[in-house]
Amino acid sequence: MSDRIAQLRADFESEVATITTESDSTALRDRWLGRKNGIMTAEMKTLGALAPEERKVQGQKINDLKAQVEAALETLQARFSAEREAAQLATESIDVTLPGRRIPAGHLHPITLLRQRIEDIFVSMGYEIEDGPEIETNFYNFDALNIPANHPARSPQDTFYIAGADLALRSQTSTMQIHAMQKRRPPLRVAAPGRVFRRDTPDATHNPMFYQVEGLLVDRNVTLGDLKGTVEEFVRRLFGPQTKIRFRPSYFPFTEPSAEVDYSCFKCGGTGCRICKGSGWIEMGGSGLVHPNVLRAVDIDPQEFSGFAFGLGLDRLCALMYGLDDIRLLYENDARFLEQFF
């Protein structure tokens, strides 16, 4: 039996010397230490046929050989594991001297950029920024703004009504004039930017949702001259000191007298170009002195106070400033388009 153990040891050492891969090492382990058909398992089964004293001696020799086999196989496994890890590290190594990849930075939407710029101008002129609800009652959307019951703007073809006939998505930021005058007594100066909603068919220059900015000043002895000076200063700060304005008579229910405001084209300086359609002028929006009925609706005495209001649309202005031929691009959320604005 001793000769057999010595032969097994010699056989194992010979086989170990030929192992070159991890799969060979695994096969060698199964061959020698397998629970069912392993060589060491078979040797242990032969002990049952021996006398007790001989069984004890032979069992010790078999255990010694088994310990040698296990130690050799563990050494092999550790070697192959180290080699595998070294190969993995080599393929996954990182060159720390290479420049890092810049994480793409987000930025503000072009309408937001323009809105913030306009808000900064108004604040620098002493105005407070006003905010208000986008869902209004008929009082704020129409009645308090002196819009009569038969006015086309009240038609469901023009206004988005919800939850019955007394609630609607606001159709102009002028509603925030009423909120501001209800919360604060004159003198007051507010600028109110926000979204408005109208039943327009989407095209290159129209959208059912768009942005406006409303300006309002109420004080004693306010005149059209104050309105003109304010609007003129605003467009000069927005487009440059060379910008001019002109007023054209118009009609709005909430102002009297009323006027449309144009400013000289910021691109050509008034000589005529594609942006201003050759006229040299670009329409800004409506304006006028606050109608006495609007003041009465918020319990302000029109005999003591007067005021002016003006508004402009941000979408078309943004399209003009950035050279866009379709305002719908501003709402399509195309990252390739939006990444152009910083």
Residues 140 and 245 in one domain: yes
> Do residues 134 and 46 both lie within one domain?
no
What per-residue confidence (pLDDT) applies to 15? 83
Indicate the SS3 state at residue 250: strand
Give the pairing type, strands 281-290 and 255-264: antiparallel
pLDDT at 309: 96
Q: How far apart are CA 300 and CA 296, in angstroms?
A: 5
Q: Which two tokens stand for residue 323?
A: 């050279």
Residue 276: what pLDDT?
82
Cα 69 to Cα 3, 116, 144, 176, distances in angstroms: 17, 78, 98, 89
pLDDT of residue 119: 95
CB 211 within 8 A of CB 315: yes
Domain with 77 in it: 2-91
Q: Does the residue 105 lie in any domain?
A: no
Domain boundary among 61, 91, 121: 91
Read off the CATH number of the domain in which 163 is found: 3.30.930.10
pTM for the complete prediction?
A: 0.67
Tokens 């594991």 sit at which residue?
A: 81
Tokens representing 43 are: 């040797």
Kindly report the number of other CB atoms within 10 A of residue 71's CB atom. Answer: 10
Residue 268, classed as helix, strand or coil, is coil
Query: Is 72 a domain residue?
Result: yes
Count the domains in the chain. Answer: 2
Separation of first and last alpha carbons in the chain: 87
**Mean pLDDT, consecutive 10-residue segments, the chain of 342 residues?**
75 83 84 80 77 77 82 87 86 81 82 93 95 92 92 88 84 93 93 93 86 95 95 92 92 94 85 84 93 95 95 89 86 84 71
**Which of 240, 239, 188 has its CA nearest to residue 214?**
188
